[in-house]
A and B are shown apart, each in its own frame.
Chain A
Amino acid sequence: MSVLAAYARARAVREGRAQPIATVRHLHLSPRPMVFIPLRLAGEAAAPLGAMLGTDPAEPRLLVVPQPRDRDQRFAFVAELAAIMLPYIEGYARDVETVEAKTPYERSRDAPQLLVPNPRGIAFTRLLGRSCRFRRADGPYPVHPSVPVLGQWLTFLADRADFPGSSLLVAMTEALAAHWATGQSRVEDGNLAALVGWIAPPDGMTGPEAAAAAEDMVWSPPAGPDTAPEFDAEVLAPAIRTYEATGSAAAVRDAVHSQLEPTWQVMWRAVELLRGLPEARSVPARWERDRAEFTREAIRIAEGGLPRGRHDSAVGAAVRLSAMERAQQAFEAQRALDDPMVMVEHRLEGRAFAGEVVAVELDRKIVPPGRTRAVNRPLVTVATADPVRLAPGDVLVSPARPRQHCEVVEVRHGAVVLQVNDGMGRGARPAPGSVPEVGEAVCYADLAPGDGPAFPFPSREETPWTHGGPPAEYVPTDEDAMEDWS
């Protein structure tokens, strides 16, 4: 917990309302996201009880499993889910553009975005994907052909959710908590309705009052995937018994609807809240990456690609971990450069500072070591009251000129002298506006965007003996396809 977020929480208590800890929205928000609220039967790993989903707040689709312990009903549920989700997902895959690059490649113009209430919704999506992707439409226990396809897509989306900055599958509580600090703890922020209550309490209510109302499970059922124990005992269990006795699923349907509908409203309210924030500058670039990954997966699945194995290979796992670390570093740097509020955290650590330019030596030229020609290396002096903890030689970037690198020359009390190293054009003199002017308010930070070359991992075939040597190619077996789901 940073001291900034902690301070914002203290303020939220006094104000009776959540306080912003971001001034722009750091995630992509689709114009047509699909809200997906799954429920599962308590005590089971991945036995779906029902779900509410859809792209139109006015038209939620309700799916229900009247007897969640029945295997056939589970697959029927997944097939129904696929009938709604696959057209949504595959619609984006068909609309592609060709990206001009060294090797030109295809990228969809837009991509699907799934919004679930909380991180446990993502975990459930992952498990549902895992329990479906190996199934087959033929053989001893055939399922509808859409089941394994949806299994592959849910697996892909859950996997992307592990990458910082990806917006294909988003947990709403996390998205909100990244932008607002409430006057309660992180534990309580896990309750979506309470979190939204703090951020935007209904008229006539304070944040804490709205959160207290949201904690009353009768008034405001949990956002899933687990249901409230009282609901299970008093409503759901009798409804399932009625279904068993009469074959009528109406009672279960009503019960499941009553638990999902309030969360459906809260989810769209949360979408509105996020839409109210202006999009951060680097969001489109990160979404571009999501679109590229999405298209790659779409092509892979269309070409009959095998479902992802139960376990990653050594090389695959290392590559994935490294990519996640790079994504994390890039995301942190981009967030700070996009948002003065996030930059505050770095300023508090002394790794960034804000101030005013008090002197510029624009015509300064030096001959860098090993070169013969003098080049432009202007000096900029910034007066600052920040507690700077930087040393000569540190390379800094600025939100105003994110591609320009400046080197710290000297740190004096109340001032920092910087040498501008690049981003000044090719002319004899620095291009106009490329170097800050006296009087300009600036901010510089020691942030590496993490866009350097990736670590060269060996290929799968060259897996070293220390990591078990080259792994056998994974081929899904009949056993995988017939796996018990009880």
Chain B
Amino acid sequence: MNRLDVLRGPHPAVDHTARTIAALAANPGCDRRAVFDAAGVDKRAIARHLGHPAPFGQSVFAITRARAFERLVKADGCAELLRLLRELFGRDVGEVGYVDVAETEGSGREARHARTRELLRDAARAAADGRPAGVLVDHPLLRLDAGGTEVYLEPDVIALQAGGRFHVIAIKSFAIIDGQAEPAQVAAAARQAAVYVHALRALLAAEGADPALVAHDVVLVCPKDFANTPTATFVDVRQQLAVLARQLARLTRIDRILDRLPPDLTFDLRPGPDGAPTRPAADLARAVRQVPARFAPECLSTCDMAYFCRAEAREREATDMLGRAVRDALGGLATIPEVLGLAEGAREPAEDEAEIADRLRLVHRFYAEALGAAAREVAVA
């Protein structure tokens, strides 16, 4: 049995998505997430059993609206999408074919991925020869190597337009109002789209085509103003691509993390006949703790394990739980007792802590002075 299968236990593997890759790349130092994702462990189920369920999720209303909007954009062989693209590219796009990869025979992931490759390779060749090659690929399936695991990814649509460039198209249901959308949502969409661009470039390179055929401008399709009418705009994801490439390269090879773990380690929940976990939570927690995590408050909105990891960081009184900016301002000191010990002079600074220790002692003195001054003013008043 494969090592990753042992870790996962008898549960079906949970797939990676562009969102999980983006989250992983956002915290490349977290071994726990890397192992869980590589093994396809159901983080949500684990966190729930550990007593730290992550409260996030999407509202039924948001899901309904997102589906309805995507249906609208993709109706009749992406007719509306095509109209938007013609408008956006601002010149004759020419004949554009439409292929739905979801309708591939033998609908397994392998077959869908192979079909996607074939379509994109042909389109790339046609474009290179100057033949008309406009095509919209619906439900494509890409593949990406993330830290030693093969990951399947499903972008909304990929378009090759007459200019001979591939564009990743992201259909999102948040509104663009007077040309502006919520920055956090645009950023999340851009990070996700960058994963697709990266995977698409890798695919073309593997097929011997020029990866630069994939544009770094992705097309974002959103509702316009307060209505349901879609509008399309370019989003430049060069920066997100650079970050992603760097983080993916930094992802510790999963084998190297696995080598450090006990060979019989498993996150098996031991489901009983009714499917409910029978493994004692304390035992599972011990297993999870074997894989070090790197908690940051940003995890709370992206990772199912975050609340468990936060509880762990709190037990250790780690400065991590206050956020990276705080930790940096505290000179990278790992724990709160260290910080306060240095500030109050109760702890001798190590050689490389001399500078931050001086600063903390100064902060400690100034803080007490300012509080004292305020107390005196109140006394006078």
Contact = CB atoms under 8 A, between A and B. Distances in A.
Interface of A: 1-11, 13-14, 20, 23-24, 41-46, 123, 127, 130-131, 183-188, 208, 215, 217, 226-230, 232-233, 236-237, 278, 310-311, 340-341, 343-344, 347-348, 354, 387, 483-486
A341 B368 CA distance: 9
A44 B65 contact: yes
Contacts of B63: 43
A8 to B, nearest CB: 7
Given A46-B226, A233-B59, A13 B371 contact: no
11 contacts: A3-B330, A6-B326, A13-B336, A23-B373, A43-B61, A43-B173, A127-B177, A185-B321, A227-B59, A233-B60, A354-B369
Contacts of B374: 20, 23-24, 340-341
A188 B307 CA distance: 12
A184 B227 contact: no
Contact of A486 (B66, B178, B227, B381): B227
A278 B375 CA distance: 12
Nearest to A40: B61
A388 to B, nearest CB: 12
B55 A188 contact: no
B305 to A, nearest CB: 16
A1 B325 contact: yes
B2 interface: no
Contact of B65 (A43, A226, A311): A43
B340 A11 contact: yes
A5 B327 CA distance: 11
B226 A7 contact: no
Contacts of A483: 225-227
A262 B314 CA distance: 27
A466 to B, nearest CB: 21
Interface centre among A10, A226, A485 (most CB of B within 10 A): A10
A14 B336 contact: yes
Nearest to B226: A485
A23 B370 CA distance: 8
B359 interface: yes
Given A13-B317, A185-B297, A185-B326, A7 B367 contact: yes
Contacts of B179: 311
Nearest to B360: A7
A215 B300 CA distance: 12
A14 B321 contact: no
B298 A187 contact: yes
B319 A10 contact: yes
A229 B60 contact: yes
Given A7-B367, A188-B297, A236-B61, 20 more contacts: A1-B325, A6-B326, A6-B330, A7-B330, A43-B59, A43-B64, A45-B175, A130-B177, A184-B297, A184-B321, A185-B321, A187-B297, A230-B57, A232-B61, A233-B60, A237-B61, A278-B377, A311-B178, A344-B363, A484-B226
A387 B330 CA distance: 18
Interface centre among A14, A23, A45 (most CB of B within 10 A): A45
Given A13-B336, A344-B370, A187 B322 contact: no
B107 interface: no
Nearest to B64: A43
A8 B367 contact: yes
Interface string B322-341: 11011111100000100110
Nearest to B229: A484
B228 interface: yes
Q: Which 9 A-B pairs rank lowest in CB-CB distance, beginning with the nearest?
A: A43-B62, A484-B227, A42-B59, A23-B374, A45-B175, A185-B297, A185-B323, A6-B329, A1-B325
Nearest to B222: A45
Interface string B220-258: 000101111100000000000000000000000000000
Contacts of B359: 3, 348
Contacts of A123: 182
A317 to B, nearest CB: 13
Contact of B362 (A13, A23, A226, A348): A348
Contact of A228 (B55, B300, B319, B323): B55
Given A10-B322, A127-B177, A187-B297, A344 B340 contact: no
Contacts of A2: 329
B328 A1 contact: yes
Contacts of A344: 363, 366-367, 369-370
A9 B363 contact: no
A11 B336 CA distance: 8
Interface centre among A228, A344, A354 (most CB of B within 10 A): A344
Contact of A184 (B58, B60, B322): B322
Contacts of A186: 297, 323, 325
B74 interface: no
A484 B319 CA distance: 49
B157 interface: no
B317 A4 contact: no
A186 B177 CA distance: 28
Contacts of B360: 3, 7
B326 A484 contact: no
A193 to B, nearest CB: 14
B364 interface: yes
Contacts of A227: 59
Contacts of A24: 374
B369 A14 contact: no
Interface centre among B297, B321, B370 (most CB of A within 10 A): B370
A14 B340 contact: yes
Interface centre among A3, A227, A484 (most CB of B within 10 A): A3
Contacts of A185: 297, 321-323, 326
Contacts of A310: 178
Contacts of A5: 326, 329
B363 A7 contact: yes
B200 interface: no
A14 B59 CA distance: 37
Given A10-B339, A340-B374, A3 B369 contact: no
Contact of B329 (A1, A217, A230, A387): A1
Given A127-B177, A486-B227, A4 B330 contact: no
